[in-house]
Structure 1
């Protein structure tokens, strides 16, 4: 071959490479000029191949194309914003599969004493707040108190005798003083409010402890210290900002009463939403016998809405909890026939259900009801969900697989490992939240926090750290056999959660045509030492291509 021929062949090869590259780009729909190009990074796409790319382009609220830095920059027009990632890692926006954002927001009213270390310190905080407010003012909801030192009515009365006080622990537990009990209509003759038992002291007077069905507890708190719509909206916006600061672009907010939905609806209508919300409507045990009355006039169902606000499920059909009972295998707190009928009713009206299921006894109750519903009208393609799945027997996993259920798991053991060992025993605790076993059986697993419920943290990087290491916050490994890989953990927190909300085709990965929800990371989550995973923070969080959190200008609230 002559020298001139070799040169010609080389030129033709270069042309072929360029043409093929451009064809690939056009195939992704890149004829449009992007609004922004992010280049020179490590783009963890979480696509079907877990591809790592260098750059991507954004047009409007969607990813326009993904590829090399050269390819993406070649798409830019004169007005395209060029963002040099300077080698930083980027991943899809994360989602929380089980979050109580509304309740967490309302708990942030008043003063925050979550870090107090004694009952005396907590009461001193209440005293100062009551003194500053003046007699009769209410709303002092505290979002945490030290365990084993509960503040009883008499304790709170000593420091706030004239102010209604609500000490908020979680959705199912509050403590009230005498003025608050009076507003709630609780006297020595009150034994129950719905399914909430009113505890009494040695003299037969209410001791101020209100614990039980979360919906009823929340309504009691709201009765004592009602918030205006403007207050609720402000609190929800602040909560969404906090969640964006930890990299959460979407949240599945469960157990929302219809009136709680009003605030989200007004925010959505006004274009004020900062996060994408999938809302699970509240169904408590006390609602089960009358569920048909609730659903029959309801004109819409699962999937109604858009990519900012949508209806997701009925939740949580709670048949009892191992954590509140302190019993490793508590008996369900509702009759099997009533429970099964409620599940059948939900299926008949086209709703999927997401029951709280954290013990093997509750799991049998739930699976029996699901199997009955499936016989009546198949649920296998409806992505019905098991919430928590804390402890599951192997035969129950087979039943879960057969029904095509989705596991909504949370990393509560990261903070609660010691409590799990106390409650379940060491051997059972080792198998708690068995994500490795679920994945090995081909069962879809999603991840989240239960923030605002039984967790005071919504940090997804702590979740990923726990999934990968099974190491709790106290440094102990619990259930090493249940470890999963980093790539698997990222899918659990992103694309799998999109599947959970029927949105895997529009979000959950960095691919052309999908919603441009993404996070720029402080460190590369795929290569940092394991112990540093939980220390990763977002440098920036984008939702629909818009920068909604920037670490350079925003200090997130913990």
Structure 2
């Protein structure tokens, strides 16, 4: 079925000049140009009147965690909770609503200690008071730490004698375990929490997919696939419920098994899923004070955060990527983590020059310095910024790093100036995968307290749009299929209530996604 889109502002992202019309045939774009000319090409095409609205290529999620987004629909959200009482009430309401039996697991998400009156984590007694008859696990909003009550700690095998793992921390004081787990300690424990049943999981995956689509996203990511998640993917593949394209990044140890289940790297999508490469992570989060920095955190002369991998482990992962000729993406928030990755990448590229062509991605790159950006560019890397940090935790970063360092977070203007390719992401479920809000953050860089965090790092709306379309397609090696509206590319579109290039910059995040179209089919429609 051919369709002719017209009557609106069509931003193809090929250039700044809007197109008058777009002609599609099923899943492909076959023409872009004047309406009359395209009508002559396909006089029987179904007309789609945009009624003055704005159409762009579908947004591309450069980094998130699809399964964690799905799991979030089965957990209680503590987003915005600013007191122990509010946290307790939400958990109690969830237990009662879901009729969770005593002794069973209760999972909570979006907890942020920065919102509590003293800015400190809950004490062990406070954690115990929240759900004394259940095994309770609470994930920090950063995704890099969490809390467990005593019942949960027993179930995952953590005792006062358990030593903190390399690149992680188990909280203890003179009385014993505090319930706080950080980085690898938290990740290891979280793997032991029982999974929900198949029906619950599939429903959660469907809801997660709908959420991404509601924000105009047509390609999404599984940003860290570990061995324990493989049964979930077998379930997902067998159900064939995906409409969005999903790029999956296993860790090094899971890659071979994932390829057997999903398909070999480089063979494209199978039921909308493909292997994207290998994922590693080298440090924690700046808002959780675990990002690995070269200079100390403000107010603590001896603390710089810490790395989660040794140089040899990073090199082993890069060598595996070079040997297998697969892309690697590396979580690096602090500049010390970025330094470690770039030094190891430089060494690995001497052994495997192909790595330079595989577009290695620095995920977050929050505190990358100008010299590191130049080095990343020269090594063929891409950086994907979590630029919405300026809004969500900008004021926390000022406290943790001082205004000067905080103002350099997600330095997109510096990357643009030096020619380092960059994309934007939301690291969902850390925050919602709201692309328009992210664009708003990139062009305004305002904190919740009204501070302009690095005015010199603001970029134009056009460049911000490229970061979630053209550039993101490049990151995925899909620039010949996605990222812009052009003949031969996928018919992946988002229709917006207003044109981001024309509204005042302060209003960009108020623009509504009206419809999301994947491969020529409408998968989300709010109504025009």
Post-superposition offset of 1:218: 4.6
Alignment equivalent of 1:212, drawn from 183, 207, 210? 183
**Cα deviation 1:89-142 (Å, max 9, x = unaligned):** 111111121112211221331323323331111112223433542322323434
Partner Cα distance (1:193, 1:403) in 2? 32
Partner Cα distance (2:257, 2:217) in 1? 34
1:87 corresponds to which residue? 52
Aligned with 2:180: secondary structure?
Answer: strand
Equivalent residue runs for 1:127-276 within 5 Å: 127-131=92-96, 132-145=99-112, 147=114, 148=119, 150-170=121-141, 171-192=143-164, 196-204=168-176, 206-213=177-184, 217-218=186-187, 220-221=189-190, 223-276=192-245
Post-superposition offset of 1:201: 4.0
Instruction: Please say which of residues 365-374 and 496-505 is displaced more in the overlay.
Output: 365-374
1:61 corresponds to which residue? 27
Alignment equivalent of 2:268, drawn from 282, 305, 308? 305
2:12 corresponds to which residue? 45
Post-superposition offset of 1:320: 4.9
**Cα deviation 1:242-287 (Å, max 9, x = unaligned):** 111111111222111144254345434543113211111135xxxx
Equivalent residue runs for 1:79-478 within 5 Å: 80-131=45-96, 132-145=99-112, 147=114, 148=119, 150-170=121-141, 171-192=143-164, 196-204=168-176, 206-213=177-184, 217-218=186-187, 220-221=189-190, 223-282=192-251, 302-306=265-269, 308-325=272-289, 328-329=293-294, 330=304, 332-378=307-353, 379-411=355-387, 412-452=389-429, 455-478=430-453
Instruction: Please say which of residues 526-535 and 269-278 is displaced more in the overlay.
Output: 269-278
Partner Cα distance (1:277, 1:39) in 2? 29
2:301 corresponds to which residue? none
Cα gap change, 1:239 to 1:219, in 2 (>3 Å): farther
Instruction: Please say which of residues 473-482 and 332-341 is displaced more in the overlay.
Output: 332-341
Post-superposition offset of 1:414: 2.6
**Cα deviation 1:55-111 (Å, max 9, x = unaligned):** 212211111211223333444555x43221111111111112111221122133132
Post-superposition offset of 1:480: 1.5
Runs of 5+ consecutive residues of structure 1 not aligned to the other structure: 1-33, 284-290, 554-558
Cα gap change, 1:525 to 1:510, in 2 (>3 Å): same
Partner Cα distance (2:230, 2:101) in 1? 32
Partner Cα distance (1:394, 1:67) in 2? 41
Partner Cα distance (2:179, 2:21) in 1? 57
Task: Calculate the TM-score normalised by the size of structure 2.
Answer: 0.88
Larger Rg: 1
Post-superposition offset of 1:233: 2.0
Post-superposition offset of 1:423: 2.4
How many matched pairs? 505
Partner Cα distance (1:140, 1:50) in 2? 46
**Is residue 2:468 matched to residue 1:493?**
yes
Cα gap change, 1:373 to 1:146, in 2 (>3 Å): closer
2:297 corresponds to which residue? none
- The answer as to whether partners of 2:168 and 2:308 remain within 8 angstroms in 1 is no
Post-superposition offset of 1:360: 2.4
Aligned with 1:208: secondary structure?
Answer: strand
Cα gap change, 1:282 to 1:474, in 2 (>3 Å): farther
2:38 corresponds to which residue? 72
Partner Cα distance (2:226, 2:26) in 1? 34
- The answer as to whether partners of 1:360 and 1:392 remain within 8 angstroms in 2 is yes
- The answer as to whether partners of 2:11 and 2:18 remain within 8 angstroms in 1 is yes
Runs of 5+ consecutive residues of structure 2 not aligned to the other structure: 295-303
Cα gap change, 1:99 to 1:377, in 2 (>3 Å): same
Cα gap change, 1:219 to 1:139, in 2 (>3 Å): farther
Aligned with 2:440: secondary structure?
Answer: helix
Partner Cα distance (1:401, 1:83) in 2? 42
- The answer as to whether partners of 2:219 and 2:246 remain within 8 angstroms in 1 is yes
